[in-house]
Structure 1
Amino acid sequence: MNGTRVKGGATMGARRLRASLKGWGGVAAMAVVCALVAVFALCVPLSGPRTVDGQAVAQSARVKAEKAEEDCEAPEKQTLSPSSADGDTIQAIKNRKGEKRKLIVGVDQNSYRWGYRDPNSGKTAELEGFDIDLVHRIAEDILGDRNAVQFKAIPTDQRIPAIKDGRVDMVVRTMTINCARIADVAFSAPYFKTGQQVLAPKSSPIKGYDDTLAGKRICTAAGSTAYSTLEADKKDGKLPASTDISTTVPNQLDCLVRLQLGEVDAVVTDGALAASQAAQDPTVQLKGDAFTAEYYGVAMKKDADDLVRRVNQILVDYRKDTANGWQASYGKWLSATLGRDPEKSEPPAPQYLRTT
């Protein structure tokens, strides 16, 4: 949930690092979805306490971003070269016994077509989506079993704490690679390209990320790059001073509910997520073009070098596999919301500038 500027160069990019659901029955159906989530809580427990003060989390992220930007450029390139070798981290995962011999991965269970439970699937509402496909591929490569995964539902503002505390081996959760975050965790090479966009009701006078946001209430996820960008732009006068950005939530989907309830006027989030939410709710739409360019990566512990290298090798192979890899997953989950041509969502050829 929760980038760099499309225009303006690397310096500006570093500084910026910082209703009805379709087929689900609207706000009322959210109660049904939540009930389903509760039923499966034993399978996918919420990891760690939610942050009460989202503003404090966002403020902390902003301070880190300001500190990191001085020495950071092109964060999506700050990763290790690929390798299939097993190191200490991977060996520890393989040495887990019995039912515990699984890859522990932090994911989302509320992001439509990324990581979510479809109550209309007719199955057991298993987690599915683009991110989930990637997790299964990683588990298959490391443990020889695509289902050898323990999923943990992680709120947006708990992604980094979950990694640092060792509650998960990695997070695969539409997580943007940026300078502030690479100070805390290690990222893989990018596996998806997106950008921040505005989501608002179709009837709204809001036209995009511009002066039409004056006097409007915007919702973002706490600890997200969306909030960091809004805060920086408001400070620099690039966002109207009267724009209210005080509404933050633990999970990005909560913003859609706030929008449906009329508690906010717009949502700012990754365009890939916003497009999925527009597909869920036909009364809302994307307003204007993406105003940043950013990349999703798999996040891991800073010192898990062998795991980072292994994931980067898996990503190389995953993108080459046209039958069952990246393109197939895009076609299955995202083409309906982002378009049949995946070119604009494909990350650039990876560069591995991190050496230690």
Structure 2
Amino acid sequence: MVTSTSTSTSTSTDRNRGRGRAAALRGARTAAALALLASGALVLGAGGPQESSPTAGAPRQVPLAAQQEQAGQSEQSGQADCDLYRSVPASTEDGPAVKAVKAKRSLVVGIDLNSYRWGSRNPNTGQVEGFDIDLARAIGTAIMGDPEKVVLKAVPTADRIKFIQEGRVDIIVRTMSITCERLEQVSFSRPYFTTSQRVLVPRSSPAKTMDEALNGATACAASGSSAEEELKTRPVKQLITVQNHLDCLVQMQLGKVDATMTDDGLAASQAAQDQTVRVLDGEVRPGVMGIAMLKTSTDLTARVNQVLNDYYTGGSWRRAYDTWLKPYLLDDADRHWPTPR
């Protein structure tokens, strides 16, 4: 199934991880690929999950019941009433929300087309691909039973919650951090990836630390992102917000911003695209990513949690990580699978 829409032109711990990303730059793609990647974003038709190379061994399996028990004891962000790991128990049952989705014969999944290796169009093949794309297709196919009933729809960073609340998408699989504020607006699945905020600067910048890069600087972040919230607490000279995080990279290329803050995985992907920028050591706001849905779609959230559990224990999560992200994050997959503490 193919529908169409348009979005704006695309522009978004340690010391060892910083060195790993810097090393990844030397073999990364050039900025020419960025120009192709940042062409218009379109809603995409359905497609089945892509098979990744099964080079990695089976991941460490964590029973979902144990995860949920741990999640119930977890306190995140310093707020006892806000547990970023808590979600509804996994289930294979079709409740009202799942039945409604099946009745309209398509599951609409909000995705990103601006994040290299997460969700982007391959300029050589024209195919949409990445870690989140594999996950989105796996979830959609598991719930609908037919890959042709999965519709991928491009969603700007700033509009993710609005698209859910307005019913323009059924779920969002788009590097979306779970936060206490967002938990009041939408429902989230159990976390599926750990994250933190990192800073990119031009290679010509003398900055060696995050503080040096941001103090008195013109800094950029995607509107509505965790990075924007963090930058509001920093002594920057000016905060520039854009619809999609990749717009910040374009602003940096044009010399209009001194630094960009974004999720660590997205920072690594930007540095992989453009060898004229680098990721600084240091990170802030450690957190987790999840899949967002309407707060009233409890049974849909439960179904997504079941798919996530199967996706991980079956080895697909690790294979997707090794295929799309490990060449640039340079960490073992288990480091990024969220386990409640």
> TM-score, structure 1 length as denominator?
0.75
Please give the alpha-carbon distance, in whole angstroms, between the structure 2 residues aligned to 1:70 and 1:270: 20
Q: Deviation of residue 343 (structure 1)?
A: 2.5
Matched, 1:300 2:293: yes
Task: Confirm or deny: 8 A CA contact 2:196 2:283 kept in the other structure.
Answer: yes
Task: Confirm or deny: 8 A CA contact 2:200 2:259 kept in the other structure.
Answer: yes
Matched, 1:330 2:331: no
RMSD: 2.5
Amino acid at match of 2:318: Q
Matched, 1:346 2:327: no
Report the equivalent of 2:158. 157
Q: Do the aligned partners of residues 245 and 317 (structure 1) sit closer, same or farther apart at CA in structure 2, a change above 3 Å counting?
A: farther
- Residues 318-343 of structure 1, C-alpha deviations (whole Å, 9 max, x = no match): 11012xx1000001100110115112
Task: Confirm or deny: 8 A CA contact 2:85 2:340 kept in the other structure.
Answer: no
Report the equivalent of 2:109. 105
Report the equivalent of 2:244. 251
Report the equivalent of 2:72. none
Q: Do the aligned partners of residues 316 and 203 (structure 1) sit closer, same or farther apart at CA in structure 2, a change above 3 Å counting?
A: same
Task: Confirm or deny: 8 A CA contact 1:209 1:291 kept in the other structure.
Answer: no
Matched, 1:116 2:120: yes
Task: Confirm or deny: 8 A CA contact 1:75 1:177 kept in the other structure.
Answer: no
Q: Deviation of residue 203 (structure 1)?
A: 2.1
Matched, 1:137 2:138: yes
Q: How does 1:1-356 map to 2 (within 5 A)?
A: 22-23=29-30, 25=32, 30=35, 32-35=36-39, 37=40, 41=42, 43=44, 73-96=81-104, 101-120=105-124, 123=125, 125-231=126-232, 233-234=233-234, 241=235, 243-322=236-315, 325-349=316-340
Q: Deviation of residue 70 (structure 1)?
A: 9.4
Secondary structure of 2:110's aligned partner: strand
Please give the alpha-carbon distance, in whole angstroms, between the structure 2 residues aligned to 1:70 and 1:167: 33
Please give the alpha-carbon distance, in whole angstroms, between the structure 1 residues aligned to 2:37 and 2:290: 28
Task: Confirm or deny: 8 A CA contact 1:163 1:301 kept in the other structure.
Answer: yes
Secondary structure of 2:147's aligned partner: coil
Q: Do the aligned partners of residues 312 and 221 (structure 1) sit closer, same or farther apart at CA in structure 2, a change above 3 Å counting?
A: same
Please give the alpha-carbon distance, in whole angstroms, between the structure 1 residues aligned to 2:219 and 2:271: 16
Please give the alpha-carbon distance, in whole angstroms, between the structure 2 residues aligned to 1:157 and 1:330: 26
Q: Deviation of residue 126 (structure 1)?
A: 2.2
Please give the alpha-carbon distance, in whole angstroms, between the structure 2 residues aligned to 1:344 and 1:303: 32
| Greater displacement, 251-260 / 338-347 | 338-347
Please give the alpha-carbon distance, in whole angstroms, between the structure 2 residues aligned to 1:70 and 1:338: 28
Task: Confirm or deny: 8 A CA contact 1:75 1:178 kept in the other structure.
Answer: no
Q: Detail structure 1 runs of 4+ shifted over 6 Å in the superposition.
A: none
> TM-score, structure 2 length as denominator?
0.79
Task: Confirm or deny: 8 A CA contact 1:117 1:126 kept in the other structure.
Answer: yes
Task: Confirm or deny: 8 A CA contact 2:43 2:152 kept in the other structure.
Answer: no
Amino acid at match of 2:190: A
Please give the alpha-carbon distance, in whole angstroms, between the structure 2 residues aligned to 1:145 and 1:23: 37
- Residues 249-286 of structure 1, C-alpha deviations (whole Å, 9 max, x = no match): 01111001001111001100000100011000111111
Secondary structure of 1:293's aligned partner: strand
Task: Confirm or deny: 8 A CA contact 1:155 1:250 kept in the other structure.
Answer: yes
Secondary structure of 1:269's aligned partner: strand
Secondary structure of 1:292's aligned partner: strand
Amino acid at match of 2:261: V
Q: Deviation of residue 83 (structure 1)?
A: 0.8
Please give the alpha-carbon distance, in whole angstroms, between the structure 1 residues aligned to 2:285 and 2:90: 28
Q: Deviation of residue 222 (structure 1)?
A: 0.6
Q: How many residues align?
A: 288
Secondary structure of 1:318's aligned partner: helix
Task: Confirm or deny: 8 A CA contact 2:117 2:324 kept in the other structure.
Answer: yes
Secondary structure of 1:195's aligned partner: strand
The share of aligned pairs that are identical, in percent, is 42
Task: Confirm or deny: 8 A CA contact 1:139 1:147 kept in the other structure.
Answer: no
Secondary structure of 1:116's aligned partner: strand
Task: Confirm or deny: 8 A CA contact 2:37 2:120 kept in the other structure.
Answer: no
Q: Do the aligned partners of residues 226 and 340 (structure 1) sit closer, same or farther apart at CA in structure 2, a change above 3 Å counting?
A: closer
Q: Do the aligned partners of residues 42 and 321 (structure 1) sit closer, same or farther apart at CA in structure 2, a change above 3 Å counting?
A: closer
Task: Confirm or deny: 8 A CA contact 1:219 1:267 kept in the other structure.
Answer: yes
Task: Confirm or deny: 8 A CA contact 1:136 1:147 kept in the other structure.
Answer: no
Task: Confirm or deny: 8 A CA contact 1:102 1:143 kept in the other structure.
Answer: yes
Task: Confirm or deny: 8 A CA contact 1:157 1:221 kept in the other structure.
Answer: yes
Please give the alpha-carbon distance, in whole angstroms, between the structure 2 residues aligned to 1:141 and 1:112: 25
Please give the alpha-carbon distance, in whole angstroms, between the structure 2 residues aligned to 1:90 and 1:330: 28
Q: Deviation of residue 227 (structure 1)?
A: 0.9
Q: Deviation of residue 244 (structure 1)?
A: 2.5
Q: Do the aligned partners of residues 132 and 147 (structure 1) sit closer, same or farther apart at CA in structure 2, a change above 3 Å counting?
A: farther
Q: Deviation of residue 298 (structure 1)?
A: 0.1
Runs of at least 5 residues in structure 2 that lack an aligned partner in the other structure: 1-10, 15-27, 46-76
